Amino acid sequence: MVKYDLDQITHDDILNGRMFLVDKPLKWTSFDVVKYIRKSLVSKFKIKRIKVGHAGTLDPLATGLLIICVGKQTKKISEYQNQFKTYTGKFKLGETTPSYDGETEVNEVFNYDHIKEYDLKKISKQFIGKKMQKPPIFSAIKKHGKRMYEYARENKKVEIQEREIEIHEFIITNFSPPYVEFHIKCSKGTYIRSIANDFGKKLNSGSYLFELRRVNIGEHSVLNALKIE
């Protein structure tokens, strides 16, 4: 695989378009990465305007692969977005949060002593295939020109439409109660946070997304990605 390097980018790349891979750090938004790279390229090439975009948002509490497109390559963003995504991470059993991850405080506590590794593997198989999924209220989806998380922070109830997604792989890689480590390969638009929440319900307990890392987008790997520094 090609190792993408900012030092290899030329003025012609900016004019003709270029794609490269970035490993998003924890607590950075995807747009923070875009702004940082745009600023870096503007400084390097002394160009007032450079088109920079990313192909697929990662939540601030997630790390991992972002595809960054520069110049004319931004026209291919939707093409990259449509490719399958692969994630690794951890669910925490016995607790839920309104955001389905660690962004918000725990709102309910459940027993998880009855859950065995066999149960985790059995339930994970139920997620494979095409399914309807309800995105979290704490999401960047727009409704009436406003982000869903804005409604959530204002404690406003909004109807959330289910979406069809597809899970290609859902593998339990380790179980150290209350933490469940996983590997998931899925379609565009899949919310791993929603899987975490639904997973806890199916286990007659609760669960939220404790840790998430995107390792692949299509054939592109985070192993070939640039670090922000």
Catalytic residue among 59, 101, 113, 119: 59
- Show the 3-state SS of the chain: CCCCCHHHCCHHHHHHCEEEEEEECCCCCHHHHHHHHHHHHHHHHCCCCCCEEECCCCCCCEEEEEEEEEHHHHHHHHHHHCCCEEEEEEEEECEECCCCECCCCCCEECCCCCCCHHHHHHHHHCCCEEEEECCCCCCCCEECCEEHHHHHHCCCCCCCCCEEEEEEEEEEEEEECCEEEEEEEECCCCCHHHHHHHHHHHCCCCEEEEEEEEEEECCEEHHHCEECC
Mark whether 7 is an active-site residue. Answer: no
Provide the annotated active-site residues: 59
